[in-house]
Structure 1
C-alpha cells in the first residue's frame, strides 16, 4: 500500500475510494462517472489524485491509469464496472 494512502488512526471505517487519473485521459473520464455513481449510491467518500503529481504515483501507476483503489488497495485499472467496485467495497467491510 502506498504510504500516503494509509488511513490515519481514528479515521472513519467507511471504505474510501481513490481514483488515480491523469488530465486528458478518456478512460479516466469514464472511470470517474462509475466511481462517482457507486460512491453516491453506497454513501462512500471518494477522492481523485493526479498520477503526475507524485514521483511515487507515477512510478507505480503511470501505464495503468485510471486506477481505482479502495482504502489504498488496487481493485482495478484501465476500466472499472459498478459491480466490480461494489464487490470490492463489500469485501473491505468484512472482518
Structure 2
C-alpha cells in the first residue's frame, strides 16, 4: 500500500500540459484525482489559466510543466513527510 496521499490535479480539457501531467503521474504511481477547473466558477477564478496545478488539500505543490524530474522530487518529499508523520 502506498504511503503517498491522494493529490488533486486541477486541469482542463484540451490542455496539453495537463495531459502530460496525468501521464507522468500515472507512470510514477501517484494517486490523484483530476478536477476540471472549468466546471466550477470558483476554481476557474482561483486558477485561471495556471493549469495544471497539483495540490494536497489547499496546499499547492506544483503548477505549470510537471516534468518527470519535478514529480520525482515531489514524490521523495511526500514520502519523507509521510515517514515523519508516523
TM-score by length of 2: 0.75
Deviation at 1:67, TM superposition (A): 0.4
Q: Which residue of 2 aligns with 1:90?
A: 79
Q: Alignment partner of 1:60: what SS? A: helix
Runs of 4+ in structure 1 off by over 3 angstroms are none
What is the aligned length? 79
Contact in 1 for aligned 2:52/2:65 (Cα 8 Å): yes
Contact in 2 for aligned 1:21/1:65 (Cα 8 Å): yes
Deviation at 1:16, TM superposition (A): 1.1
Deviation at 1:70, TM superposition (A): 2.3
Q: Which residue of 2 aligns with 1:37?
A: 27
Q: Which runs of 5+ in 2 are unaligned?
A: none
TM-score by length of 1: 0.69
CA RMSD of aligned residues (A): 2.0
Contact in 1 for aligned 2:10/2:35 (Cα 8 Å): yes
Q: Which residue of 1 aligns with 2:61?
A: 75
For the residues of structure 1 that align with 2:63 and 2:24, how far apart are their CA atoms?
Answer: 13
Q: Alignment partner of 2:55: what SS? A: strand
Matched, 1:16 2:6: yes
